[in-house]
Amino acid sequence: MGKKALSSLAVTGLLMLGGCGVAYQSPSVNPMSASASKVRVLAITPETVLAANRSGYSPKELPAVFFANAGGGSTQRGAGAVPDPVVDYQPRPDMLETRVPPAVPDAPYTIGIGDVLLLATPQTGSTVEQLTGLLAASNSRQGYTVQDDGAIAIPNVGRVQVAGTTLEEAENRLFQRLVENQIDPTFSLEVAEFNSKKVSIGGAVAQPAVAPITLTPLYLDEALAAAGGITAEDLDYASVRIYRDGTIYQIPLRELYSSSRLSRVQLTNGDAVFVDTEYTLDRAQAYFEERIRLAEFRQDARIAALNELNAEVNIRRGALAEERENYMTRLELDSVDRDYVYLTGEVNKQARYPLPFGRTATLADALYSNDGVPTRTGNVAEIYVLRGSPDPREFGALTAWHLDGRNAANFLLATRFELRPNDVVFVAEQPVTRWSRVVTQITPSLITSTAAQLN
């Protein structure tokens, strides 16, 4: 037999060895082999995707520090003790003059510091899961107080600036923030407590009081009624004095009782109403000065409280940032307990794919996080997800979910097929790839053998 015939015979023999798996071992999913007798192969179809996704799995969550905000725990500070009230006595007058304050322009109610807003949301199970703390507050009828910086702090949403806005504008801002945080923006907003706009009533009334201005206008007769009514008996020398924006207005009590127009004088935020039984303005002026001092005192206290709040928020924000940075460092050092899926076979890089926090991942997520399947070497008709049995008594039994990618429409199923911890994604090689690798392995032996025979 010639050397040429010997070489040909060697090539044929080596190719036969490669085809038999002697020269080259290629991984595959084979339910018929003895060592894999417990492998069950199921095609990935819409029905089997539903069955596979029914297996219980709760994705790991990020630490609570990633969902906290720097201002959520702060509360409104008080102004402390108020100055002593002013008490003064003045002699009686000879005559009274009527000076009516100017009309208040019509304008919608604007939300202010101290107001309590109430969010109402649908009473459904899914909404409870999505809005958690927000729904808990609304269901228990607990509102959100507008704090010194003009914002309300809502769990899972953060601080929303609402001071100075109408209810409609506040609803629009809150709607936008809920959408940004991927929360169902179905809600209604109302003012539960009106604390930002007030009118004080003092003097000869049954019970000096502070009346809030609400969504409806507050008129003089209503403010006096809120203070228990006027107690002055001598109508000749009694008057109602209104302090507004540095000016004192006066309505004699006799004219107030005889004119429905005067009793319906509309009041505005910051008005001070004083029922005086004396003619001169000294006592009323002292009362108004007292209201001014109280307002200045509370404003100074509010500024101090706001500075304290800002300092607390900055400290809290720094602590949150440090905790998050520490966690990210642990994540980089692989010291955090994670769930993984393993990619093997004809993928661009055999690796482990970390399942994301807070949500499930799909077969498509894992494949395309690794640049997909290399079509030159990977067999798209042989894509498998290998999943072991959750029953410890069936250790070694597994299911091979098979995706046939020759029909590109089947890749849509890959976007629906949810992965579970320790799943193995396997892509078989192309038949031509297998032979190419056999040839690559046997070529050096063939050259060596032929050279030896020629010598």
Write the DSSP string, 114-149. T-EEEEE----HHHHHHHTHHHHHHHTT--EE--TT
Cα separation values, 434 from 8, 348, 407, Å:
21, 16, 22
* Among the listed residues 285, 273, 292, the one whose alpha carbon sits nearest the alpha carbon of residue 208: 273
- Banded pLDDT at 435 (limits 50, 70, 90): low
**Residue 87: its pLDDT value, please?**
45
Residue scoring higher pLDDT (264 or 447): 264
Helix or strand (DSSP H, E) at 297: helix 282-332
Is the dihedral angle over the CA atoms 205, 207, 212, 217 positive or is it negative? negative
**Residue 445: its pLDDT value, please?**
59
Write the pLDDT tens digit of every residue in 172-222: 999 998 888 888 788 888 999 999 999 999 988 999 999 999 999 999 999
* Among the listed residues 268, 112, 114, the one whose alpha carbon sits nearest the alpha carbon of residue 198: 268
**Residue 2: its pLDDT value, please?**
53
Write the pLDDT tens digit of every residue in 254-285: 888 888 898 899 999 999 999 987 655 566 67
Domain-by-domain residue ranges, the chain? 3-60+338-454, 110-195
- Banded pLDDT at 6 (limits 50, 70, 90): very low
Among the residue ranges 51-65, 129-143, 244-258, 378-392, the one predicted with the least confidence is: 129-143
**What's the CA gap between 192 and 111, in Å, rounded?**
11
> Residues 240-267: what's their mean pLDDT?
90
Q: Is the pLDDT of residue 81 over 80?
A: no
* Burial grade of 302 (CB within 10 A; 0-12, 13-18, 19 or more): middle
210 three-class SS: strand
Phi-psi region of 44 (alpha: psi -120 to 50; beta: other; left: phi over 0): beta
Q: How do beta strands 340-345 and 424-429 pair?
A: parallel
> Residues 62-80: what's their mean pLDDT?
65
Cα separation values, 283 from 55, 89, 224, Å:
80, 7, 19
Among the residue ranges 96-100, 130-134, 151-155, 255-259, the one predicted with the least confidence is: 130-134
**Residue 20: its pLDDT value, please?**
52
**Residue 240: its pLDDT value, please?**
92
Mean pLDDT of the chain: 79
For Cα atoms 56, 43, 51, give the angle at the middle one, nearest 5 degrees: 25
> Residues 349-355: what's their mean pLDDT?
90
**Residue 140: its pLDDT value, please?**
42
- Banded pLDDT at 135 (limits 50, 70, 90): very low
CATH class of 3-60+338-454: alpha beta
179 three-class SS: helix
**Residue 90: its pLDDT value, please?**
47
User: What are the tokens at 112?
Assistant: 């202010």
CATH class of 110-195: alpha beta
**Residue 313: its pLDDT value, please?**
84
Q: Is the pLDDT of residue 23 over 80?
A: no
Q: Is the pLDDT of residue 119 over 70?
A: yes
